[in-house]
């Protein structure tokens, strides 16, 4: 049952071979057993989860079930869920119990899914290793001395260790795809605006996007069917007709054109990752796809552009955390200004403070034009590169991350080295494109390698088809960490 797909679990529930209460209990017991060492979950509420499971069983008994009814799904702790502790991995929100549901949570509730708990994450989604969380580091189930990636590292570790059949994540600069790659699971970042950001605690509003994390592309398609949808409360939510993201999964890949950016296979990519990615592309050729070389000349500017724009938006978004309305408040202060200063000094971790300072600097008088405005112009050029590339191909492929998972603490004192972990993913967010990572083998150290698939706007169904056909021909996505 631990390795069953969501489709298989749904069939078991429909046939009455297992109840949602039994299924949820199985995963809750597994969390209780393994989470103390992995630290993938921040909050688990057995009573709430089992009550939802019981309701799902009753719904199935009445014949009103959806494909996800009764399926336990772990939720990244960035999504507000009514009555649940929602901390965003920060001391600032360590005691915040959300009074409402995020749109994504509402969508899962409507589908009858069970909230299995809230997963650990880098503080306010700022990080690439899940080491900045106030609740402690998450460990990679494949090797607990290594990181699971970030910021959705808790969700990735939970799925990889089979603590949950599926989970949600958010991707601002690669935070679904990079941890998916480092833990050997499948993760998808949809086109910007496809999944509502309402109730998703903001980091960088023009970049943040929620998405699914699961064992396979087929599972991600079922999850995205539930997550996607217009929401009038989010001004960036796109009003589009509902679509079935699983509709094209069985389509053959004959004639598919895969673009290979020369910039993705240059200096900085480790040899073992390059080899696994090339082997995956060779498998696609066997499946009938063609490859063409494309160029993304401005992709080398993605990291400096991102680390101007994202901190600028973060400095604005995080200004609301001042100790007045909710969350942490400094216990001792002399006046209002002192309360603000001490609350924010105590409530935020070092990485969040670093980004707030950078963001405030680039938005300040005298630097706005030199940094922020220039970065916005370069962002447009990066997006235009993709427009040109997609004139010659259907999807773009390359590595998700430049290396396999690195050791815990290895890059903690070197922010620039840490930021380079997202070198292949950030441009996708800047352009607002959909992208995903699928497992494609293991590096020389036995740790998972991810293949990144980038699609044109609103081509999630095509990307999922491309990923699914590869997963039908390989078994990398079914591998489990030893001893887990």
Instruction: For residue 76, indicate whether it is catalytic.
Output: yes
Q: Among residues 98, 128, 129, 151, which one is catalytic? A: 151
- Asked whether 201 and 178 are in contact (CB, 8 A), the reply is no
Catalytic, out of 49, 76, 215, 237: 76
Please give the full DSSP string across 211-271, using - where no structure is assigned.
EEEESSHHHHHHHHHHH----TTSTT--------TTTTTT---TT-EEEEEGGGGSTT--H
Q: Is the pLDDT of residue 267 over 90?
A: no
**Is the predicted pLDDT of residue 416 greater than 90, yes or no?**
no
Check pLDDT > 90 for residue 253.
yes
Nearest to 245 by CA among 276, 275, 214: 214
Residue with tokens 């396999």: 404
Question: Could you tell me which residues are beta bridge partners of residue 436?
Answer: 188, 453
Superfamily grouping for domain 6-256: Amidase signature (AS) domain (3.90.1300.10)
Distance, in Å, from the CA atom of 354 to the CA atom of 93, rounded to the nearest integer, reads: 18
Least confident of 169-178, 250-259, 413-422: 413-422
- Our answer to whether residue 215 is catalytic in this structure is no
Whole-model pTM: value is: 0.97
Q: Tell me, rounded to whole angstroms, the distance of Cα 211 from its chain centroid.
A: 6
Mean pLDDT value of segment 115-121: 98
Torsion of CA 453, 238, 123, 50, to 10 degrees: -90
Could you confirm whether 151 is annotated as catalytic? yes
Helix axes 217-227, 103-111, angle to 10 degrees: 110
Distance CA 75, CA 73 (A): 6
- From residue 469, how far is each of 10, 261, 286 by CA, in Å? 21, 22, 11
Domain boundaries, the chain: 6-256
Q: Which of 10, 20, 49, 175 is catalytic?
A: 175
pLDDT band at 471 (very low <50, low <70, confident <90, very high): very high
Q: Output the pLDDT for position 413.
A: 87
Q: Which two tokens stand for residue 343?
A: 């609350």
């Amino acid at each position: 049952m631990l390795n069953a797909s969501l489709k298989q679990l749904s069939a078991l529930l429909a046939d009455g071979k297992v109840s949602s209460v039994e299924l949820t209990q199985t995963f809750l017991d597994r969390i209780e057993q393994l989470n103390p060492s992995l630290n993938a979950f921040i909050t688990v509420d057995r009573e709430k989860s089992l009550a939802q499971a019981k309701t799902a069983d009753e719904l199935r008994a009445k014949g009103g079930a959806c494909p996800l009814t009764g399926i336990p799904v772990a939720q990244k702790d960035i999504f507000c869920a009514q009555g649940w502790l929602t901390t965003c991995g920060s001391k600032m929100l360590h005691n915040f119990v959300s009074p409402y549901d995020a749109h994504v949570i509402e969508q899962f509730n409507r589908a009858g899914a069970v909230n299995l708990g809230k997963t650990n994450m880098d503080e306010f989604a700022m990080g690439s290793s899940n080491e900045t969380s106030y609740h402690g580091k998450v460990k990679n189930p494949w090797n607990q001395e290594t990181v699971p990636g970030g910021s959705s590292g808790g969700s990735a570790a939970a799925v990889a260790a089979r603590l949950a059949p599926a989970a949600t994540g958010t991707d601002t600069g690669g935070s679904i795809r990079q941890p998916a790659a480092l833990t050997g699971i499948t993760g998808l970042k949809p086109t910007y605006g496809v999944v509502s950001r309402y109730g998703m605690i903001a980091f960088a509003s023009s970049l943040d996007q929620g998405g699914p994390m699961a064992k396979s592309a087929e599972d991600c398609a079922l999850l995205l069917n539930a997550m996607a949808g217009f929401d009038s409360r989010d001004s960036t939510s796109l009003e589009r007709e509902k679509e079935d993201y699983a509709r094209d999964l069985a389509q053959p890949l004959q004639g598919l054109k895969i673009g290979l950016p020369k910039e993705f296979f240059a200096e900085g990519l480790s040899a073992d990752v390059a080899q696994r990615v090339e082997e995956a592309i060779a498998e696609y050729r066997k499946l009938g796809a063609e490859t063409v070389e494309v160029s993304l000349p401005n992709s080398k500017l993605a990291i400096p552009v991102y680390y101007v724009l994202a901190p600028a938006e973060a400095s604005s978004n995080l200004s609301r955390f001042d100790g007045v309305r909710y969350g942490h408040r400094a216990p001792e202060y002399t006046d209002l200004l002192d309360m603000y200063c001490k609350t924010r000094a105590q409530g935020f971790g070092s990485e969040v403070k670093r980004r707030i300072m950078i963001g405030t600097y680039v938005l300040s008088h005298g630097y706005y034009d030199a940094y922020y405005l220039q970065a916005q112009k370069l962002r447009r050029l990066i997006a235009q590169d993709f427009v040109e590339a997609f004139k010659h191909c259907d999807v773009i492929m390359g590595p998700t991350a430049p290396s396999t998972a690195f050791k815990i603490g290895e890059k903690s004192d070197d922010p620039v080295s840490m930021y380079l972990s997202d070198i292949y993913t950030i441009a996708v967010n800047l352009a607002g494109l959909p992208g995903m990572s699928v497992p494609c083998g293991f590096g020389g150290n036995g740790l998972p390698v991810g293949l990144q698939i980038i699609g044109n706007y609103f081509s999630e169904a095509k990307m999922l088809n491309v990923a699914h056909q590869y997963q039908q021909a390989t078994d990398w996505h079914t591998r489990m960490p030893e001893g887990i």
